Chain A
């Protein structure tokens, strides 16, 4: 299924505090070191626990062959890794010898045992085919549960992937905000389809402190989206399609949800009344905060996009085409709003400051300053932003929609 564009800043939201905190908080560094040690121990533990199925299979084989010399061949036909494979092979041979069987070459053995380490969709299946003289082949087998999440190998490609989750849950994460006390991240609030979960960092682990259910009557859309937004007079608001929830101010929190088509805030930032403070990475000469009007947009309650209606709007533009996500790039002379529309295009709306003038050059350098480089679809670099000759968008008062086919624009971080 699709990846969220609207919430793409979440990655940074989670990782950046950790990186920042690592620099300033040795305790967190210790926590991470502890985590990696524990992870290594867990790997070791999971690799060593084959003794039960080894003993079971060895007993079944011994019951057929009886004590004596056997030739043993072991073949790995499963997704078992090389290290585990070696452990199991040694373990099986040891278990057989422990039951009075001697592992010999085929010409010296009374029985030939071919063991296949196989698997099915849910578990490992170890199969032993036992041949004694000219008699029929006896087949014995055992199964061992596969570790949660371990894949079944349906092809012979020896590929394995290992996942180290930093934060994960079974239900989709719609949004996350990090909360801090005394400049240290202490809580995260996680929005999922049915709850806002509040976790506290305790002993190096996120411990659930509260689960606040989201009450809703209508079914959610399939591509559910949601937004957690810090509030001025209480901790947070949760926006979901057709539902807005507000938390209380004091702990323990409560969440009051109501059916509402209220517009969602588009860009996170430090709010002060109806304005928003934003700190762009580059493009501002003084590097200070820019204050822009808080922008909100209406979200279609049964779909996965914003309707295009904006409050208060960019200049004179109060509607733009339906869009999935939006962001703004504030600069000295203008503010550039970017809308990823549902038709696959990116729409740019420019709100000019006090000075008018070289709109195109300003925007180009501004975007470049934000880490975006533009490339022509056919290769080469150059401006991809065009302003009509009359340049009405560069007037003092208003904005101008500049439509770009986003497929013709390919940029990447520098």
Chain B
């Protein structure tokens, strides 16, 4: 055996390498550059960075922050396939009731200590007190009461990221960035982890400012003070940004009306049905959301379930009135909304108007003491986990069998909707705008941003 004749190679190399090297203006910049500080702003103002802190509501921002500093045993791609994270391999035993995860070697927490099966097990127990988790040599073993085919997707949730909780109660992670400065609810400064098992990130540091309104965020982007900002769905269409500077996830935030109590009587159920039938989601989408989002009568978006269109989302005012007329005494309902939600008040007032058209008596008010509440629920990308999360959030019993056929999923969702404790309104995307200098940042399937491979370039095309 000998090497292929190099003459042709030299010819083509001189041409191709010369061309690739010299000519395309962006060619040299297509390779990631190291260095720089990335400035990020967000509306959310989390008070804790602990991934297992369930006093903090789930949000796209929290997911994004968590996965900068912490990592999960497995990750899921956009097709729902698992990939190795801190675990390099895994095995389901006993029909899916017992799982063994072999940990990656050479991984260190940001405090310099090695990742061990003991502290990984401890972390998962803190996040899931009902799980039986223990260490076995270099593996983590999880034993469940019943088979759970969604376990891998559950472990990929940021809330199950592995954290080592030291005596000062500050969690240490293994992620690509470590904490330099943390002012709860205000500012977070992160620095690249030089010895990260997957290679040092390209950015030197990330500065994240919290509690910024969408308007302020966009202003900071335009003034060059921020490189990555959040964009309200209703504002996304206004930005005539060049190229790929505006990015949106699949619609996976559920905007819904959640009743504070279960159906009390057949009349109560009829009134809720009348309200659901009166809602003119199309007009709300056009006016309030400027065409963004998808009106829905389903909890799970159609792209996730495949059958979402079966649940009607169109208004049917005659039927709403007909249904309402079966009830003689009309109670006064307060629709609660979050005063921090830019469209919360307008949306609640619009719903009240729709309800009044059907003969219902509704009033919008900020706060949480209300008969029904406008809620935004960021959904995980796995349909079964998403349905369970929504059920937990609105106080419904979760489906015991967390897996099965698409027909089982439909039946579980139908059962949740039949309780009339939740009226889905819209599925909204998570949208972000980036400076031209920010390269190679990506959106994960769960709507969070991924900056582990991001880098800062010159910004010129």
B131: interface (CB < 8 Å)? no
CB < 8 Å neighbour of B310 from A17, A129, A154: A129
Contact A2–B310 (Cβ < 8 Å): no
Known: A9-B13, A222-B32, A222-B453. A338 touches B22 (CB 8 A): yes
Max chain A Cβ within 10 angstroms of own Cβ: one of B18, B23, B381, B453: B18
In the complex, the answer to whether B3 meets A269 with C-beta atoms within 8 Å is no
**Contact between chains at B21 and A9 (CB < 8 Å):** no
CB atoms of B31 and A410 under 8 A apart = no
Contact A8 B3 (CB under 8 A): no
Interface string of A16-28 (1 = CB under 8 A from B): 1100100000000
Task: Check B80–A270 contact: CB distance below 8 A.
Answer: no
A267 close to chain B: CB less than 8 A: yes
Kindly provide the distance from the CB of B29 to the nearest chain A CB, expressed in whole angstroms: 6
User: A267 and B13: CB pair below 8 A?
Assistant: yes
Minimal beta-carbon separation of A152 from chain B (angstroms): 6
Chain B residues, CB < 8 A from A326? 21
**Interface centre among A140, A251, A279, by most B CB within 10 Å?**
A279
Residues of A close to B197: CB separation below 8 A = 219
Residues 1-35 of B contacting A (Cβ, < 8 Å) = 1-25, 27-34
> Is A172's beta carbon under 8 Å from chain B?
no
Question: Is A118 interfacial (CB-CB < 8 Å)?
Answer: yes
A221 touching B199 by the CB < 8 A rule? yes
Q: Is B202 an interface residue (CB 8 A)?
A: yes
Beta-carbon contact of A125 and B307 below 8 Å: yes
Q: A181-B2, A221-B199, A326-B21 are in contact. Are A8 and B309 (CB under 8 A)?
A: no
Q: For the complex, is B244 an interface residue (Cβ under 8 Å from A)?
A: no
Q: What sequence of 0s and 1s flags, for each residue 273-299 of chain A, a beta carbon within 8 Å of any chain B beta carbon?
A: 000011111000000010000000000
As a 0/1 sequence over residues 243 to 255 of chain B, the CB contacts with chain A under 8 angstroms (1 = contact) are 0000000100000
A121-B79 in contact (CB<8A):
yes
Which residues of chain B are within 8 angstroms of A183 by Cβ–Cβ distance?
Answer: 5
What is the CA–CA distance of A67 and B172 in the complex, to the nearest angstrom?
A: 65
Render B169-202 as a binary contact track against A, CB cut-off 8 A, 1 for contact.
0000000000000000000000000111111111
Q: A219-B195, A410-B25 are in contact. Are A303 and B305 (CB under 8 A)?
A: no
Let me know if B303 is at the binding interface, CB within 8 A.
Answer: yes
Q: How far is the CB of B330 from chain A (nearest CB, A)?
A: 27
B126 at the A interface (CB under 8 A): no
A116-B309, A179-B1, A413-B19 known; A269+B10 contact, CB < 8 A: yes
Q: Which residues of A contact B17 (CB under 8 A)?
A: 8-9, 267, 325, 327
Evaluate whether A13 and B23 lie within 8 angstroms (CB atoms) in the complex, with A179-B4, A340-B28 already known. no
By the criterion CB–CB under 8 Å, are A224 and B305 in contact? no
Cα separation A280 to B32 with both chains bound (whole Å): 30
B28 near A412: Cβ-Cβ < 8 Å? no
Is there a chain A Cβ closer than 8 Å to B78's Cβ? yes
Number of interface residues of B (CB under 8 A): 67
Q: Does B304 contact A (CB under 8 A)?
A: yes
Q: Which of A297-327 contact B (CB under 8 A)?
A: 302-305, 324-327
B198 to A411, Cβ gap below 8 A? Answer: no
Measured in the bound complex, the distance between the Cα atoms of B196 and A289 in whole Å is: 46
Check A2/B440 contact, CB under 8 A, given A8-B17, A179-B2, A372-B23. Answer: yes
The answer to whether A324 and B307 have CB atoms under 8 Å apart is: no
A267 vs B10: C-alpha distance when bound (angstroms): 9
- Bound-state CA distance A330–B407 (Å) is 68
Least CB distance from B78 to A in Å reads: 7
Most buried by B among A119, A338, A342: A342
Chain B nearest CB, measured from A355 CB (Å):
21
Are B31 and A219 closer than 8 Å at their CB atoms? no
CB atoms of A221 and B19 under 8 A apart: no
Which residues 256-291 of B sit at the A interface, judged by CB distance below 8 A? none
Contact A120 B304 (CB under 8 A): yes
- Tell me whether B3 and A329 are in contact (CB under 8 A): no
Taking a contact as CB atoms under 8 Å apart, the answer to whether A16 and B406 are in contact is no
A280 touches B11 (CB 8 A): yes
Kindly state whether residue A109 has any CB partner on chain B within 8 Å: no
Pair B16/A329 contact, Cβ less than 8 Å: no
Do the beta carbons of A410 and B23 come within 8 Å of each other?
A: yes
Nearest-neighbor residue (CB-CB) of B382 within chain A = A121
Q: Mark A122-148, 1 if CB is under 8 A from B, else 0.
A: 111101010000000001111100000
> Which residues on B sit within 8 Å (CB–CB) of A365?
none
B18 touches A303 (CB 8 A): no
Which of A186, A251, A281, A342 is the one whose CB lies under 8 Å from B14? A281
User: Is A219's CB under 8 angstroms from B14's CB?
Assistant: no
Once A12-B9, A338-B21 are accepted as A-B contacts, the answer to whether A303 and B34 lie under 8 Å apart by CB is yes
Tell me the smallest distance from the CB of B20 to a CB of chain A, in Å: 4
Please measure, in the bound complex, the distance between the C-alpha atom of A123 and the C-alpha atom of B199, giving whole angstroms.
34
Complex-state Cα separation, A1 to B381, whole angstroms: 23
- Contact between A180 and B25, CB atoms less than 8 A apart: no
A370 in the interface (beta carbon within 8 A): yes
* B405 at interface, CB cutoff 8 A: yes
Contact of B303 among A4, A152, A324, A406 (CB under 8 A): A152
Which 5 A-B residue pairings sit nearest by Cβ, starting from the closest? A125-B306, A120-B306, A411-B23, A327-B17, A222-B199
| Sample of 4 further A-B pairs with CB below 8 A, known A118-B302, A125-B406 | A127-B306, A129-B310, A327-B13, A342-B31
- Complex A-B: 13 CB contacts under 8 Å: A8-B17, A12-B8, A17-B4, A20-B8, A183-B5, A222-B199, A268-B13, A269-B6, A279-B10, A281-B15, A302-B194, A344-B457, A367-B18
